[in-house]
Structure 1
Amino acid sequence: MLCLFDLDGTLIDSELGILGCVRHALTQLGVPAPAEMRHWIGPPLRHSFAPLLDHDHERIEQAVEHYHDRFHTVGWREHTVYPGIEAMIGQLQAAGHQLAVVTSKPERHARPIIEHLPFGGAFSRLYGPDPSSPHSEKAAMIAAALTDFGAAPEQTVMIGDRHFDIDGAVANRIRGVGVLWGFGSREELEKAGAHAVAQDPQHLATLLVA
């Protein structure tokens, strides 16, 4: 089976780095940061910056550039691996599954993170959107993975914590499995059409290995 994993909120808790970079970008533009910002984790940056910057295209692009500047230097290191993830990945490898990462992070930001994970070598491919794209692109990246691996939809699963992951799965007629240790809710995942929802990494391993 081909297992496609989201990165933020699924493999790693990246809240510290992402929100630190968002605050940095807004500070550079003289805009106060919102009190509640967890919803920033998952959607494309331009989507989240737009309402705070009056949908001003030029300022949105400036904010994204400031975000990327900080993320490239320090933000990518500011994360932790969720407990149980490494063991779960090992179980999937032992079962003979193929693994890849499909993330909303630009590839240039995701690659160093994955390369530094203790289990990063388990992933044979990484899919990330073009840095200039305002869209999630999960559906297009999943479609690319299906082609690259020559995988049948019924033998492929997308695992993630937000509806963007499940939306991409539904668009490609593959199973979408939601996880509850990230930044989304059971309601969000089930509403998007999740095939199943995992409580913790061991539960996920059970769902995927069975």
Structure 2
Amino acid sequence: MKRLVLFDLDGTLTDSSEGILASLSYMMNKLSLKIPDDTILASFIGPPLRDSLSTIYGMDNTEVEIAEKVYREYFAERGIHRLAVYPGIENLLNDLSSNYLLAIATSKPEIYAKQIVEQIGLTHYFTGIFGADLAGRRSKKADVIAYALNKLNTKEAVMVGDRKFDILGAKANELSSIGVLYGFGSQQELVNAKADIVVESVDELTDAIRKLIK
């Protein structure tokens, strides 16, 4: 049986920063929220939106639900299209697909993740695309990974992602992990989270995956 490789989406397969930041700007302006500096704005990319809203703005559950709804007004219509596939990703997936099962595990709502992967023409590489639910009951990366493993009926995989949430989510599910530096996380973040391997480029991923799963 082929071994499983789980990929994060934002910052790992796609540079989605333009669409996410535009959607955040729309939400903040519509709700008259103070727009934070660029560093804090960038921190929104990766973790569940509700967690960032709660941490940065101190929102309660009701306020979070309102803000998420406004964010999705823009994202679902416009933000979802403002992204690019990282160079080399399609070649990587093509090379890996002959020896591994490939799937996506993302904190982005699953309905949007499936639309994105379809619009960038990569759906056929993946055995499954797994993400958060819109109600927020499954939003933590560890929960999404567990959901993916359950659906695919396996407990063995390697997780590839650009943020500490990917690495910590993998550890919570007793998986090996690879951190990528071309996305939105820093080397220090990935090292502190104890990624098994950290790579700088897409070109290094095949060898890193082969080191962790034969």
Residues 14, 78 of structure 1: 8 Å contact kept: yes
CA offsets 1:28-67 (integer angstroms, 9 cap, x no match): 1112311211111011111212255442433322111010
User: Does residue 35 in structure 1 map to residue 37 in structure 2?
Assistant: yes
Give the alignment of 1:89-104 within 5 angstroms: 89-94=93-98, 96-104=99-107
* Residue in structure 2 matched with residue 13 of structure 1 by the alignment: 15
Q: CA deviation at 1:206?
A: 1.7
How far 1:163 moved relative to its partner? Answer: 0.7
| Alignment match, 2:153 | 150
Classify 1:135/1:126 alpha carbon distance in 2 versus 1 (closer, same or farther; 3 Å): closer
Give the RMSD, CA atoms, in angstroms. 1.7
Q: Which amino acid aligns with 2:94?
A: G
* Alignment coverage as a number of residue pairs: 207
> 2:105 touches 2:131 (CA, 8 Å); kept in 1?
yes
In structure 2, the partner of 1:45 is 49
Are the counterparts in 1 of residues 25 and 35 from structure 2 also a CA contact under 8 Å? yes
Q: Which residue of 2 aligns with 1:183?
A: 184
Q: 2:82 is matched with which residue?
A: 78
**Hey, what's the Cα distance between the residues in 2 that align with 1:72 and 1:112?**
10
Query: After the TM superposition, which residues 125-136 of structure 1 pair with which residues of structure 2 at under 5 Å, given as runs?
Result: 125-133=128-136, 136=139
Aligned to 1:26: 28
Secondary structure, aligned partner of 2:158: strand
Question: Is the Cα–Cα contact under 8 Å of residues 92 and 208 in structure 1 kept in the other structure?
Answer: no
Alpha-carbon deviation of 1:137?
A: 2.3
Which range moves more in the overlay, 10-19 or 54-63? 54-63
The aligned amino acid for 1:63 is A
**Superposition deviation, residue 202 in structure 1:** 1.1
The verdict on how the C-alpha distance between 1:152 and 1:134 changes in structure 2, with shifts beyond 3 A counting, is closer
Q: Unpaired segments of 5 or more residues in structure 2? A: none
- Partners of 1:58 and 1:146 in 2: CA distance: 31
Partners in 2 of 1:176 and 1:193 — Cα distance? 9
Question: Which among 116, 119, 122 is matched to residue 116 of structure 1?
Answer: 119
SS of 2:107's equivalent? coil
Offset from partner CA, 1:6-35 (integer Å, 9 cap, x none): 000000000000011111011111123112
**After the TM superposition, which segments of 4 or more aligned residues of structure 1 sit over 6 Å from their partners?**
none
How far is 1:149 from its partner?
2.5
Q: Give the SS at the match of 1:128.
A: strand
TM-score relative to the length of structure 2: 0.90
User: Quick one: structure 1 residues 192 and 8, their matched pair in 2 at CA, closer, same or farther if it must change by over 3 Å?
Assistant: same
Residue 142 of structure 2: aligned partner? 139
Q: Is the 8 A contact 1:71 1:109 kept in 2?
A: no
Partner Cα separation in structure 2 for residue 141 and residue 38 of structure 1 = 22
* CA apart distance, 1:81: 0.6
Partners of 2:27 and 2:137 in 1: CA distance:
17
- Mapped to 2, the partners of 1:133 and 1:54 lie a distance apart of 17
SS class of match (1:204): helix
| CA distance in 2 between partners of 1:133 and 1:57 (Å) | 10
